[in-house]
């Protein structure tokens, strides 16, 4: 039950990271958003 | 043919400097240094190691995001302005009372979460405003917030350096309460009184006129309830750990955030605040993720072992005498990664030569957070500079940190040195 | 025009990230789903599951197999735990050799090869472990999952900010709530790791286990190494075994008492909460040392490292190491011989509760012929006698 909420939380963060990535204007920030996004996606896919 | 860890370390440093010369941010420079290390180590671009390293601080990143989101909601709802006005009205007449209260408010968030950045994000901004009305300069204010935030992270009940190192040497996290509490509280008070001594009494009328007005319907109940919920969840987890499910800090902050949203007297744009929160935190969470990747690559290529073995094989008196240097530097590069990389071999070394490992580790934990102001990461230092809206160059803040930093380094080193005599503090 | 360039750039970055994501994701998936065959030896009479003892664990990743080897003659019962810490491979491999080779004449032997199965599916963050390792045999090689000290967060998330042990309420680091050697004796409504311990505690009680032996390895900089850690109930047995081994088997092993103050460990809690004697064996594993150099499969299996040797020259280690390192055969051999000596001494002492085992190689056999010589070929084995871990 609580674990499910953590997946929802991770999904929310992942969506926000993606939106900010798309709106970003600086290439350095874009790379950084993608790096931070990586573990969130892998967790959501239950790969790690 | 594989290159030796010495040469791999050199290529990582070279890549870092090169990236910096091309005006690349600290976070990305560390990432490129990690890539250079992997290439030099003959591992190519090791996708799995990059991803695995990126996971290292996932839970801590979630804490930062949810805690900051909660604070931002509170700020936008006028709760923060309300609290500052309240504190000023009640305590403006006594500097000593005000300092005691501010120290307490600064110590609590970091002590409970183990993260100095949570202190800076949650209460640092408010405290800075109050200190500003006492006539203290921005760099001086930033130094106070930074130093106490660091001590709050080391303070019990949750000190991540002590906890992670203790787990690394198979020691229970027991006996740390007083050895951590006493130096952290004393040094925090010393810091605020030394740096704040020149502060004047607050000109209440002026302050109240300048501070943003809180919405009319704002009251103490609306501000306090989310915090009450947070502290209740923490307390409940400790009192009934075996009859309640594990909530975890991120979800606790989400609960507080939802409550402050419900109790806000004005309508808040949740989506915009959430997006801004992520943008505001990008340097912090980016650094954490990249440090995790860097540590993984350093371990993979043997660079981590090179550093660890070099430090622990120095003559013991040099090891102890330079703790005030090696610990902050390791923190500045690796952050909590410093606990397994340096903390574990050091505590085992101290144990071998007959020091008390608990008190020695507590002493080390007090010194470690000083590194959060140092480059390359300077993570909490940079965060503090932004949170207190300091316009002056960063080194101005460092200058004011010097005296308390020396005090902290001396106290921490003495704790290691005399850990055996101080062993009674563990009450074991 | 500028917008166009930005879109192009973002697409390029995203594609790069996607490559890393897919490549890493595939490796994580393969690691978690690598199947490790166990070729049931002639002595295995039954393969049970932990859920046979505690239903709460059924359907979870930690519903481990329990290999039962029952002799013709009635006697005692001993439980051997491999894989409490799957980052310590010698413990799992020793248990594997027993499962594929042992024959029991008297008493019952219970084996668990993946005590914390969840922890076999993940490697330590920042540790740069390989995801697997292979043992050479004369028919090719057998590949095993490398694991971690802690359960996989995919199976237990989130952690609390501090871990309070049940039932002692001792405070431990938050990550240790996923360390199965900190969650004994376990509880039925706890976390997955605690439930796993509870299931094993039930097994110990229901099967009337006399001795539980938990197989581990340790870094050389850690003081508890090359030793038998014994609950007070097993003091004499451990002390005698240590003496006999040092005299007969060609290696030295120490003995120490399980400290009262360390809660959640198997050698403490099993002894306290059940009728069984609890012992824990530690072999040296340089791969775990913080001063290790390059982290790879070679170090894991050969245990050679010049930085650790350097730390040893400075007197920082609790076990000797030279350029020959600590090959896996030595470490597995130590566990096998120590187990056999404990069985033999126990049987001499308590004939009616004895356990007589044959077919298992000793230290000198494994050092001479390698671990692989005692692993069976799954390709030529009877498919009905193959179980997967
Ligand atoms: Zn172990």
- What single string gives the DSSP state of each residue in C26-64? HHHHHHHH---EEE--TT--EEEEGGGT-GGGTTSTT--
Look up the pTM and report it.
0.93
Please give the distance, rounded to the nearest whole angstrom, from the Cα atom of residue B264 to the centre of ligand 1.
Answer: 50
Domains in chain B: boundaries: 46-427
Rounded percentage of chain C residues whose pLDDT exceeds 90 = 95
* Contact assignment for A47 to C14 by CB distance below 8 Å: no
Please give the Cα distance from B268 to B76 (Å, whole number).
Answer: 7
* Spatial separation of the C-alpha atoms in residues B339 and B376, rounded to whole Å: 18
The shortest CB-CB distance from C10 to any of A3, A30, A45 is to A30
Inform me whether the C-beta atom of residue A4 falls under 8 Å from chain C C-beta atoms: no
DSSP C242-287: HHHHHHHTSS--EEEEPPTT--S-HHHHHHHHSSSEEEEEEEE-GG
- Residues 6 or more apart in contact with residue C74 via CB below 8 angstroms: C106, C107
Residue B208: the pLDDT is 87
Q: Burial letters for B389-422: b for 16+ Cβ neighbours within 10 Å, e otherwise?
A: ebeeebebbbebbeebbebbbebbbebbbebeeb
* Mean pLDDT score, C172-201: 96
Please, which pLDDT band fits residue C167 given cuts at 50, 70 and 90? very high
Q: How far is A6 from chain B (nearest CA, A)?
A: 7
CA B113 from centroid of its chain's CA atoms: 9
Cβ atoms of B294 and B50 within 8 Å: the answer is: no
Task: Please tell me the distance in Å from B334's CA to the nearest CA on chain C.
Answer: 11
Option in C17, C153, C158 nearest A34 (CB): C17
Mean pLDDT, rounded, for B97-104: 93
Chain C CB contacts of B8 below 8 Å: none
pLDDT, position C1 = 55
3-state helix, strand, coil in chain A (%, to 5): 85, 0, 15
Chain C nearest C-alpha distance from B316 (Å): 11
Quick check: A10 and B24 CB within 8 A? no
Q: What is the mean pLDDT of residues B230-248?
A: 93
What is the rounded distance in angstroms from the CA atom of residue B181 to the CA atom of residue B187? 10
The answer to whether residue C17 is domain-embedded is no
Name the residue among B304, B415, B289, B404 with its Cα closest to residue B361. B415
In degrees and rounded to multiples of 5, residue C277 shows phi and psi of -85, 135
Chain B CB contacts of C176 under 8 Å are 167
> Which residue in C20, C164, C223 is closest to B241 by CB distance?
C164
Question: What pLDDT is attached to residue B123?
Answer: 85
Q: Which residues contact C279 (CB under 8 A, 6 or more apart)?
A: C211, C212, C213, C214, C228, C229, C230, C231, C234, C237, C238, C267, C342
Q: Which domain holds residue C375?
A: 34-388
CB-CB under 8 Å, C25 with A47: yes
Residues of chain C positioned with their CB less than 8 A from the CB of A43: 153-154
Helices B357-367 and B323-334: crossing angle, nearest 10°? 60
B258 pLDDT tier (thresholds 50, 70, 90): very high
What is the per-residue pLDDT across B351-382, written as a single tens digit (0 to 9) for each? Answer: 989 999 999 999 999 999 999 999 888 889 99
For residue C105, the model assigns a pLDDT of: 98
pLDDT over threshold 60, residue C257: yes
Residue with tokens 């039954």: C46
pLDDT at position C261 over 90? no
**Which CATH number covers residue C325?**
3.40.630.10
Between B1 and B158, the more confident residue is: B158
pLDDT (tens digit, 9 = 90+) per residue, B374-410? 988 888 999 899 989 999 999 999 999 999 999 999 9
Whether ipTM > 0.95 holds is yes
In the DSSP assignment, the letter for residue B342 is: I
pLDDT in the model for residue B167: 82
Residue range B268-288, pLDDT digits in tens = 999 999 999 999 889 889 988
Choose among C128, C160, C262: nearest Cβ to B246. C160
Q: Kindly give the interhelix angle for B249-263 and A2-23, rounded to the nearest 10 degrees.
A: 70
Percent of chain A residues past pLDDT 70, beyond the cut: 100
Cβ distance C153 to C42 under 8 Å? Answer: no
Q: Find the C274 Cα to ligand 1 centroid distance in Å.
A: 21
User: Is the pLDDT assigned to residue C2 strictly greater than 80?
Assistant: no
Partner residue opposite B27 with nearest CB, options A2, A16, A32: A32
Q: Do the Cβ atoms of C23 and B48 come within 8 Å? A: yes
Q: For residue range C323-366, what is the model confidence (pLDDT) as tens digits? A: 999 999 999 999 999 999 999 999 999 999 999 999 999 999 99
Range with the lowest mean pLDDT among B306-310, B403-407, C73-77, C346-350? B306-310
B147-201 pLDDT tens trace: 999 999 999 988 989 988 998 888 888 899 999 999 999 999 999 999 999 888 8
Burial code of B338-352, b = ≥16 C-beta within 10 A, e = fewer?
bbbbbbbbbbbbbbb
Mean pLDDT calculated for residue range A37-48: 97
Q: Do A20 and B246 touch (CB under 8 A)?
A: no
pLDDT for res B60: 87
More confident residue, C46 or B291: C46
Sign of CA pseudo-dihedral C179, A6, B369, C170: negative
Q: Among B314-318, C113-117, C147-151, which stretch is predicted with the lowest mean pLDDT? A: B314-318
Torsion of CA B102, B105, B111, B115, to 10 degrees: -90
Alpha carbon C297 to its chain centroid, in Å, reads 17
Look at A5-19, B73-87, B405-419, C67-81 and tell me which has the smallest mean pLDDT: B73-87
Alpha-carbon gap, residue C19 to C24, rounded angstroms: 8
Considering only CB atoms, which chain C residues are within 8 Å of B250? 158
Q: Is residue C117 part of a domain?
A: yes
Which of B163, B170, B180, B356 is CA-nearest to residue C261?
A: B170
Report how far ligand 1's centroid is from the alpha carbon of B248 (Å): 26
Is the pLDDT higher at C74 or at B94?
A: C74
Q: Which residues of B touch A (CB under 8 A)?
A: 24-25, 27-28, 31, 50-52, 54-55, 58, 61-62, 65-66, 245-248, 250-251, 254, 274-275, 277-279, 282, 285-286, 289-290, 293
Mutate to test the interface with C, among B170, B235, B347 (most CBs of C within 10 A): B170
Q: CA B51 → CA B339, C132, C213, C295, C300, distances in Å?
A: 21, 17, 36, 17, 22
- The distance of Cα B326 from the centroid of its chain, to the nearest Å, equals 18
Of B166-175, B293-302, C165-174, the one with minimum mean pLDDT is: B166-175
The pLDDT of residue C136 is 97
Average pLDDT over residues B51-69: 92
With a CB-CB cutoff of 8 Å, which residues 27-46 of chain A face chain C?
27, 30-31, 34-35, 37-38, 41-43, 45-46
Does residue C161 have a pLDDT over 90? Answer: no
Q: Compute the average pLDDT of residues C270-299.
A: 97
**Pick the residue with more confidence: C297 or B1?**
C297
pLDDT category at B1 given cuts 50, 70, 90 is low
Q: Smallest Cβ distance to C316: which of B56, B295, B349?
A: B349
Each domain of chain A, given as residue ranges in start order, spans 2-44
Measure C365 CA to ligand 1 centroid, in angstroms: 25
């Amino acid at each position: 039950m609580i674990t499910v909420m953590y997946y929802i939380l991770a999904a929310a963060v992942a969506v926000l990271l993606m939106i900010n990535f798309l709106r970003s204007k600086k290439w350095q920030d874009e790379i950084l958003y993608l790096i931070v996004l990586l573990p969130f996606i892998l967790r959501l896919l239950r790969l790690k | 043919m594989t290159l030796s860890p010495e040469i791999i370390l050199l290529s990582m440093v070279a890549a870092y400097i090169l990236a910096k010369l091309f005006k690349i941010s600290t976070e990305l420079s560390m990432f490129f240094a990690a890539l250079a290390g992997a290439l030099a180590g003959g591992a190519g671009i090791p996708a799995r190691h990059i991803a695995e390293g990126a996971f290292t601080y996932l839970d801590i990143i979630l804490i930062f995001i949810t805690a900051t989101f909660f604070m931002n909601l509170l700020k936008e709802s006028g709760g923060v302005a309300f609290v500052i006005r309240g504190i000023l009205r009640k305590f403006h007449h006594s500097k000593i009372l005000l300092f005691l209260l501010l120290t307490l408010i600064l110590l609590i968030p970091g002590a409970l979460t183990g993260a100095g950045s949570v202190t800076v994000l949650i209460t640092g901004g408010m405290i800075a405003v109050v200190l500003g009305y006492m006539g203290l300069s921005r760099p001086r204010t930033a130094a106070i917030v930074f130093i106490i935030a660091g001590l709050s992270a080391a303070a019990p009940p949750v000190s991540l350096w002590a906890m992670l190192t203790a787990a690394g040497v198979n020691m229970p996290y027991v006996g740390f309460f007083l050895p951590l509490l006493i130096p952290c509280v004393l040094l925090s008070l010393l810091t605020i009184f030394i740096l704040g001594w020149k502060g004047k009494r607050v000109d209440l009328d002026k302050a109240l006129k300048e501070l943003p007005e809180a919405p009319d319907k704002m009251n103490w109940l609306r501000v306090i309830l989310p915090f009450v919920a947070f502290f209740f969840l923490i307390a409940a987890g400790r009192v009934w750990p075996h009859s309640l499910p594990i909530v975890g800090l991120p979800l606790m902050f989400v609960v507080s955030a939802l409550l402050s949203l419900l109790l806000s007297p004005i309508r808040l744009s949740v989506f915009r605040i959430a997006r801004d929160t992520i943008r505001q935190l990008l340097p912090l969470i980016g650094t954490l993720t990249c440090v995790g990747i860097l540590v993984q690559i350093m371990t993979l290529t043997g660079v981590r072992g090179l550093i660890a073995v070099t430090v622990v094989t120095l003559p013991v008196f040099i090891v102890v005498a330079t703790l005030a240097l090696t610990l902050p530097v390791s923190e500045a590069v690796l952050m909590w990664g410093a606990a397994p990389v340096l903390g574990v071999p050091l505590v085992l070394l101290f144990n071998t030569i007959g020091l008390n490992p608990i008190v020695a580790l507590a002493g080390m934990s007090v010194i470690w957070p000083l590194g959060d102001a140092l480059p390359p990461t300077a993570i909490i230092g940079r965060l503090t500079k932004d949170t207190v809206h300091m316009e002056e160059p960063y080194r101005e803040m460092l200058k004011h940190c010097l005296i308390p930093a020396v005090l902290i380094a001396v106290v921490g080193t003495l704790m290691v040195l005399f850990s055996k005599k101080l062993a009674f503090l563990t009450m074991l | 025009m500028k917008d166009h360039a930005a879109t192009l750039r973002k697409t390029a970055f995203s594609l790069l990230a996607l490559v890393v994501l897919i490549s890493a994701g595939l490796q994580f998936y393969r690691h978690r789903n690598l199947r490790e065959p166990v070729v049931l030896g002639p002595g295995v009479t039954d393969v049970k599951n932990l859920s046979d003892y505690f239903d709460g664990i059924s359907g979870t990743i930690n519903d481990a197999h329990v290999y039962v080897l029952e002799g013709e003659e009635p006697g005692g019962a001993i439980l051997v735990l491999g894989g409490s810490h799957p980052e310590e491979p010698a413990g799992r491999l020793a248990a594997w050799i027993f499962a594929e080779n042992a024959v029991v004449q008297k008493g019952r032997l219970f084996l668990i090869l993946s005590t914390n199965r969840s922890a076999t599916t993940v490697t330590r963050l920042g540790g740069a472990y390989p995801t697997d390792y292979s043992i050479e045999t004369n028919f090719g090689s057998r590949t095993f999952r490398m694991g971690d000290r802690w359960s996989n967060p995919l199976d237990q998330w989130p952690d609390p900010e501090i871990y309070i042990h049940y039932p002692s309420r001792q405070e431990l680091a938050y990550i240790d709530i996923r360390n199965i050697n900190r969650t004994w004796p376990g509880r039925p409504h706890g976390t997955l790791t605690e439930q796993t311990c509870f299931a094993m505690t039930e097994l110990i009680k229901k099967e009337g286990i006399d001795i539980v032996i938990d197989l581990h390895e340790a870094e050389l900089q850690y003081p508890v190494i090359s030793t038998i850690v014994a609950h007070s109930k097993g003091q004499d047995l451990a002390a005698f075994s240590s003496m006999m081994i040092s005299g007969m088997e060609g290696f030295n092993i120490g003995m120490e008492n399980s400290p009262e103050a360390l809660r959640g460990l198997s050698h403490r809690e099993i002894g306290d909460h059940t009728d069984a004697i609890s012992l824990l064996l530690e072999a040296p594993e340089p791969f775990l040392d913080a001063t290790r150099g390059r982290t790879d499969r070679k170090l894991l299996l050969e245990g050679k490292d010049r930085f650790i040797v350097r730390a040893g020259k400075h007197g920082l280690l609790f076990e000797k190491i030279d350029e020959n390192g600590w090959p896996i055969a030595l470490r597995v051999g130590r566990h096998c011989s120590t187990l056999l000596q404990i069985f033999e001494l126990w049987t001499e002492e308590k004939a009616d509760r004895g356990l007589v085992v044959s077919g298992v190689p000793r230290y000198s056999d494994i050092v001479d012929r390698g671990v692989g010589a005692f692993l069976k070929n799954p390709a030529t084995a009877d498919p009905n006698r193959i179980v997967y871990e």
